[in-house]
Amino acid sequence: MKNKFITEQNKIFLPDEKWNTIAEIDFQKINNTTYDIYHTFVDESMRWQWIADELVNEAKKYLTRQWYSIVATCPFAKKKIKDQ
């Protein structure tokens, strides 16, 4: 099953059926060419389902499609980007 991520200006999130956020990744523009991924969150009920990995991949695709470079100050995102 593919997750239905929602993309907004500075975040990508996964809502449940009541529209509560159960996972999200937040990023902010730090200059004209670069965004910082600074926060990831996955609800305890969804942990160990690779949702955070998917969020990092979605953020990378979204930002690089717009020709932005990415840095990550979020420890999880930083490790995932480094490992890829």
Q: How many CB atoms lie within 10 A of CB 80?
A: 20
In this structure, the dihedral spanned by the alpha carbons of residues 42, 44, 48 and 49, taken in order and rounded to 10 degrees, is: -60
Specify the pTM: 0.89
Where along the chain do its domains lie?
A: 6-83
CATH 3.30.60.50 fits 6-83, yes or no: no
Question: What local confidence, expressed as pLDDT, does residue 12 receive?
Answer: 97
Assigned token pair, 19 = 């529209």
Cα separation of 14 and 17, whole Å?
Answer: 10
Average pLDDT of the chain is 92
Question: What local confidence, expressed as pLDDT, does residue 47 receive?
Answer: 82
- Comparing C-alpha atoms, which of 54, 61, 56 is closest to residue 74? 56
